[in-house]
A and B are shown apart, each in its own frame.
Chain A
C-alpha cells in the first residue's frame, strides 16, 4: 500500500527520533539538576526505573490499539500518531470526521485514497496542537503564578526572593487567603470534571447512536450485516462493565480495560457475522 512505503517510515522516524531526543535532553538536565541540589543517585535512579517499569503495561495496551488504525492509515503514520500526543479515540474521531467530510462516508466504508489520507493526516496533526501552543505561550507565566506561595510573611518572601531570584514575586501578591483559593480550585476542578465527562459522553453517544441507527434506522433492519456493529458495541460495553468491576480489586487491569473491551468487541464481529450469515443468508 502507498502508506507503508520507505519514505513515509523515514519521515515518521525522524519525528519520533526528535521526540526521543527531547525526552533524553530533559532526562539528563533534570538528573544533573537533581544531583546538584543534593538528591542522591539512588533516588533519581529509582524514579527512572520505577517509571520505566510502570510504563510497560499501559504501553503494550496502546500497541494493541494500533490495529484499529493501521488498516486505514498504514503502519508508519499510526506509529507516529500513537507515539506522540493524541490517543486512539482522538485519532479515530479525527480520521472519521475527515473521511466523512471528504467522501460523505464513514471511515469504515470510505475508500482511503492518497488524497483522503493526506487530508486525514493533516486534521489529526493540527487538531491536537492546542496543548503545545498553550505550553509555548502560557506555561512560563502559569507556572510562575502557581509558584507564588500563599499567606507568607513579607520576611519569608524577601528570603525567598533572595534565594530564587529577584523578579518572581513581592509581598503585595498575597491577598488571597488559602481557603478561598482552595475552594475556588475545588469548584473549578469539579466543573472541569463535569464538562469533560459531558463532552466525552456526547462523543461516545454519537458513535453509539451511529451503530444503533445503522441497525435500526427508520425502524427497520436493512440486512443482518447492518446489525453487526451494534452487536459488537454491546459486546464491548458488556466486556467493559465486567472489567470495570474487576479492576477495583486488580488495579493493573486499568491499563487494559479499554483495549481489551475494544478488541473483544471487534473480534465478536466474526462469530456474529458467521452465525447471522448462516441463519439469514448473504
Chain B
C-alpha cells in the first residue's frame, strides 16, 4: 500500500514536470525538465521491478537524448521577449490546471481502490526473467525494423522542416 502512494506521488510529479517541460518558454530548460521526467520514470520502472527498462530509460532518455537536445538547442537562437511575457502570464493558470489534473487522478485512483475491483493477474513468472538479449532481439525482432524506419523518418522530418532549400533561400 505504501508503495502505491509512492507510485502515485511519482506519477503526479511526472505529469507536473512534463507539463512544465512542454510549456516552458526556454527550450533548454524544457529539455532539462524532460531529462528529469525520464529520471523519475526510471525510478518508477526500478520500483516496478523492470530493471532493464529502467536502465535503458536512464542511460538513453535521461543521458544521451538530453545531451543531444541541449547540444542542438545551444546552437539555436534564444526566445524573443514577447513570448516570455505570454508564458509568464499564463503560469498561474498552469499551476491551477495541474492541481486539478492531480486531484482528478487522485479521486479516480481512490474510487478504484474503494470499489475493490477484481484486478486481473499480472504477467506470469516466465516473463519476469527475460534477459537483455531477449528483450532487445529475441522478443522484438519486428520492432527493430520499425525503429530503423522511424529513425529515418525523424531525419527526413528535420531536413524537410528545418533546412532551407534553394528555392526558399
The answer to whether A and B assemble together is no
Report which B residues bind A (CB closer than 8 A). none
